[in-house]
Chains A and B, each alone.
Chain A
Amino acid sequence: GAVVSQHPSWVICKSGTSVKIECRSLDFQATTMFWYRQFPKQSLMLMATSNEGSKATYEQGVEKDKFLINHASLTLSTLTVTSAHPEDSSFYICSAPPRGKKTQYFGPGTRLLVL
């Protein structure tokens, strides 16, 4: 149990385009999901907390107009990287704790390459 999926696993796009990444909890409901960014050989950097039915909470230094988050249901959160640039290239990972629990289960990650 406690499986989180992400789609797509890989995406290559041109500079200036927008990219949407989906995060789904497959066998549990999650009122909260988290979006992380990870650079090579570094730790996970929390970007934002996605809240079902309300606005996301962004960490300091993360542009909310650049990284749009929508938590459409208790099993789906999306991250849209708007007007992507090469510096947005990274590994994006989502996580979700089952409702009322503290343990976060992570998705497999999405590798974004902006040309």
Chain B
Amino acid sequence: QQQVKQSPQSLIVQKGGISIINCAYENTAFDYFPWYQQFPGKGPALLIAIRPDVSEKKEGRFTISFNKSAKQFSLHIMDSQPGDSATYFCAASPARGSGTYKYIFGTGTRLKVLA
């Protein structure tokens, strides 16, 4: 119940294309869903995050789509660029009342954008 399933494991996209990464969860107590980008040898950097009271959030070329009933959320990278080549992690965090702000991370998606 605490798992976050992420797919695909790896993704190759042409420059200018759309990259789509999906995550699914089971625990309905999750109320915060961030996405992180990680380059080799670096710490993860926050890209964008969403709460379940909205269905979509957009920041620049990055969009999160959230489907509360299906318990799924996805990251869309529009106009993908070679500089977007990195590993992307989704995460989920339980509601404040649980007493912890721990994240449950997905397994990661290695994105490669071809020039």
Residues of A within 8 A of B (CB): 4, 6, 32, 34, 41-44, 46, 49, 91, 93, 95, 97, 102-109, 111
CB < 8 Å neighbour of A103 from B49, B105, B107: B49
Work out how many contacts link A and B, with CB atoms closer than 8 A: 52
Any A CB within 8 A of the CB of B36: yes
Q: Tell me which of A97, A106, A108, A111 contacts B36 (CB under 8 A).
A: A106
Indicate which residue in B34, B43, B102 contacts A46 across the interface (CB closer than 8 Å).
B102
Could you tell me which residues of chain B, from 11 to 55, have a CB within 8 Å of some CB in chain A?
A: 32, 34, 36, 41-46, 49
The reply to whether the CB of B69 lies closer than 8 angstroms to some CB of chain A is no
Pairwise interchain contact B41-A32, C-beta atoms closer than 8 A: no
Q: Which residues of A contact B103 (CB under 8 A)?
A: 34, 46, 104
Which of B34, B43, B93, B103 is the most central at the interface, judged by chain A CB atoms within 10 Å of its CB? B43
Knowing A43-B105, A44-B105, say if A102 contacts B100 (CB, 8 Å).
Answer: no
Interface of A is mostly: strand
Band of interface residues on B: 20 to 34
In the complex, the answer to whether B46 meets A105 with C-beta atoms within 8 Å is yes
Q: What is the chain B residue whose CB lies nearest that of A104?
A: B103
A49 touches B100 (CB 8 A): yes
Contacts of A34 in B (CB 8 A): 102-103
Q: How far is the CB of B64 from chain A (nearest CB, A)?
A: 14
Asked whether any CB of chain A lies closer than 8 Å to the CB of B66, the reply is no
The CA of A46 and the CA of B89, in the complex, are separated in Å by 14
B107, chain A: closest CB distance, angstroms: 5
Query: What are 16 sample pairs from A and B whose C-beta atoms fall under 8 A apart?
Result: A4-B43, A32-B101, A34-B102, A42-B107, A44-B105, A46-B103, A91-B41, A95-B44, A102-B32, A103-B32, A103-B46, A104-B101, A106-B36, A107-B43, A108-B42, A108-B43
